[in-house]
Amino acid sequence: MALGEEWFTEPCEQHGSAFSLKAKKKLHEEQTAYQKIEIFETTQYGNLMTIDGFVMLTDRDNFLYHEMMSHPALYTHPAPNNVLVIGGGDCGTLKEVLKHPEVKLAQQVEIDERVTRLSEIYFPSLCESNNDPRAELHFVDGIKWVKDAAAGHYDVIIVDSTDPIGPAEGLFNEAFYRECHRALGEQGILVQQSESPLYHIKLIHAMREAMQRAGFAQTLTLDFPQPVYPSGWWSATMAGKSGTLTGFRENDAAQKPFATRYYSSARHKASTVEIPLLAEEQD
């Protein structure tokens, strides 16, 4: 991370690239019990939040991520009444989940409460559904929360985590996926952010294999643009306990009673086509 000459830069050393945003000023900085959070005002992307020097979100393009982390999974499940969001402290994914009228309970479990409290200040539009009577905010360890959950309690589990380092490292392994499998109902769906299909293909394969070993019948990786993340191309990987992940409630998605900026039934259908790159042999 560097802030020099009014630019915030996040280098991706392993892949010989970097991403920069021109910053007007730093709005906030603090070290929590878990991580360092910084917030900047940029010239073109609105407010920017970083954690430990890595870009988390901006005002301008967060909708791409939040819509694709939520709507494909919810429209694939036949009746997503109970939804769990692990992580997601900025509350953008929770906001998208609560757009679905069939959702009766949406619990967000974020280990670092400061992420949410700062989002309420600097990204208020993402937090406008926090007081929805169907929403619950819990600031505890998501791994333990899933382990303590009753079997079959959830319809959809969304893992909206940071990269697989630090507090999020334990969310990317077979043991955690087994607990998610147990906590999901018979038609349950797990979806997790799975990094860049260009830079992190080995991680995506490892995640899918671990999900399958944990008992999930099928996996599917969806891709979407995300300008502020490494390579500008991101993904979410779904795992289903039964049935197919390529089929979804297409008519419901086409007639959804809420607005989106990127997600649509047509984009959903297109995203179910496997990324050819994932079929390539890996070193």
Give the three-state DSSP class for 169: helix
Give the three-state DSSP class for 250: helix
Of 146, 258, 149, 131, the closest CA to residue 192 belongs to 146
Three-point CA angle 187, 190, 194, nearest 5°: 150
Catalytic residue status for 160:
yes
d(CA 54, CA 253): 33
d(CA 130, CA 91): 7
Q: How is residue 19 written in tokens?
A: 């991403």
Q: How is residue 168 written in tokens?
A: 């999020």
Q: Which amino acid is at 81?
A: N
- Secondary structure in 3-state letters for 84-141: EEEECCCCHHHHHHCCCCCCCEEEEECCCHHHHHHHHHHCHHHHCCCCCCCEEEECCC
Q: Pick the catalytic residue: 61, 155, 160, 163?
A: 160
Cβ atoms of residues 49 and 117 within 8 Å: no
Which residues are known catalytic residues?
160
